[in-house]
């Protein structure tokens, strides 16, 4: 989807961004466009007819059933229409009139990486396309539901102007922004849905009634699906006077995975950082950054402080990695494997304050991990807290080349210095 909501949707931005400005937002579960459309359709939202194709032949078959179609690259990033594939093919959204055209376009998309303004130079793999019927929007509107801290509940944001980002709408026509707080106990009422649809200024009564029905269905999806955001852009009025949700983006609360198993089964890990996927499988809190000092810390606050002080002394943190308060030796080993697997990491800084987590357990894990991974880069260790004396003795007897540090300042300075070794 091309537009994203403004500052209200930036609350999921990664905490680590203040240490390294290039960090991208922390994503909740994010579905592909075709998955969002399928899910919305199940809740009664009016969406265009279409299916996902995982091969060019499949795209041709779907287009034969649909007729004139749009072939859309399915990559979890905005700016697809203006993107370029790594094979030189331009544009991730193409109109096609025949099944043969659909096949040709799909063959150039599937298996390539699409590079957009949001993916960075590396791009993201396109493993599927969405072949969907062509709907000609007569008017394009905007609609979203998200949680709002100020009203402490769901908030509908809508506009009679759509098709572009909500930021642009707010800047150019702020009077067109509709905000409707929803009482989470009573839910979105029929009267509210009708009022929102009317303020979105559909031309026909049929389109207004259809929009109100879809708005109710979207709210039901938002609540029952444990979504954190449902955004439709454009929410269109078609040439035949119908209201249809042509493009949508839905994010879900990761904490609801236990009761939304079918939805979370749609997760496409090929669109995510491989190290972050591996870390999550081992219950490690890991965020990939762009620096060269790998950080292994317990506690989010201490992790942030460690990253900041590395930056202060001229280093660049390569990650946010919080092993938590009850990490096992196996988790520490896995953390080391992730850090050592990052080619950008030139030194590893372990900074542990032992409270619930005992320093001797960490020390044993560090030694086991260093040996198992054949650690070949400088390792700086600073331990304080529970069982720290026992931990220091374990490290001293390990015969490993470990750079010991007594304080956070000392550890950061030694980590930065170690980069030149």
Active site residues: 142, 231
Tokens (6 digits) for 156: 């509908």
Of all residues in the chain, what percent are helix, strand and coil, respectively (each to 5)? 40, 25, 35
Distance of CA 40 to the CA centre of its chain: 20
Tokens (6 digits) for 80: 């697809």
Burial 386-416 (b: 16+ CB within 10 A, else e): bbbeebbebbeebeeebbebeebeebbbbbb
Paired sense of beta strands 347-354 and 293-297, if any = parallel
Please say whether the beta carbons of 242 and 212 come within 8 A. no
Q: Find, among 109, 162, 163, the residue nearest to 131 by Cα.
A: 109
Residues with Cβ within 8 Å of residue 287, at least 6 apart in sequence:
14, 16, 23, 26, 276, 319, 320, 321
Distances (CA, A) of 268 to 52, 75, 115, 274: 14, 10, 18, 11
DSSP three-state, residue 304:
helix
Q: How far is Cα 287 from Cα 26, in angstroms, rounded to an integer?
A: 8
Please say whether the beta carbons of 388 and 354 come within 8 A. yes
Q: Can you tell me which residue has the tokens 């466009």? A: 33
Q: How far is Cα 251 from Cα 257, in angstroms, rounded to an integer?
A: 12
DSSP 209-245: HHHHHHHHHHHHHHHHTTEEEEEEEEEEEETTS-EEE
């Amino acid at each position: 989807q091309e537009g994203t909501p403004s500052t209200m949707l930036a609350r999921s931005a990664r905490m680590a961004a203040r240490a390294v400005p290039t960090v991208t937002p922390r994503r909740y579960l994010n579905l592909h466009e075709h998955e969002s459309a399928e899910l919305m359709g199940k809740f009664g939202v009016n969406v265009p007819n279409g299916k996902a194709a995982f091969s060019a032949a499949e795209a041709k078959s779907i287009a034969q059933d649909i007729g004139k179609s749009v072939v859309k690259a399915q990559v979890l990033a905005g700016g697809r229409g203006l993107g370029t594939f790594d094979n030189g093919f331009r544009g991730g959204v193409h109109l096609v009139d025949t099944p043969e055209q659909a096949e040709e376009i799909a063959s150039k998309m599937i298996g390539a990486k699409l590079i957009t303004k949001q993916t960075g130079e590396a791009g993201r793999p396109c493993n599927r396309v969405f072949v969907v019927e062509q709907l000609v929007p007569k008017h394009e509107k905007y609609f979203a539901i998200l949680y709002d801290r100020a009203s402490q509940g769901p908030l509908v944001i809508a506009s009679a102007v759509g098709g572009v980002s909500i930021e642009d709408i707010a800047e150019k026509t702020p009077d067109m922004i509709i905000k409707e707080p929803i009482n989470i106990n009573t839910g979105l009422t029929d009267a509210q849905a009708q009022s929102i649809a009317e303020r979105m200024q559909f031309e026909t009564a049929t389109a207004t009634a259809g929009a109100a029905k879809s708005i109710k269905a979207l709210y039901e999806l938002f609540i029952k699906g444990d979504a954190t955001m449902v955004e439709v852009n454009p929410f269109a009025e078609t040439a035949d006077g119908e209201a249809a949700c042509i493009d949508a983006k839905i994010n879900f609360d990761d904490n609801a995975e236990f009761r939304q198993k079918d939805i979370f089964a749609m997760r496409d890990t090929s669109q995510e950082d491989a190290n972050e996927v591996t870390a999550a499988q081992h219950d490690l809190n890991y965020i990939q950054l762009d620096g060269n000092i790998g950080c292994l810390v317990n506690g989010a606050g201490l992790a942030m402080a460690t990253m900041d002080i590395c930056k202060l002394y001229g280093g660049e943190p390569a990650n946010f990695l919080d092993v938590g308060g009850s990490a096992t030796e196996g988790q520490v080993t896995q953390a080391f494997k992730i850090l050592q697997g990052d080619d950008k990491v030139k030194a590893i800084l372990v900074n542990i304050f032992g409270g619930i987590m005992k320093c001797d357990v960490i020390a044993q894990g560090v030694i086991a991990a260093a040996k198992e991974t054949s650690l070949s880069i400088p390792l700086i260790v600073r331990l304080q807290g529970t069982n720290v004396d026992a931990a220091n003795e374990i490290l001293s007897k390990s015969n490993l080349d470990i750079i010991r540090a007594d304080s956070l300042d000392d550890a950061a300075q030694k980590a930065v210095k170690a980069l030149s070794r």
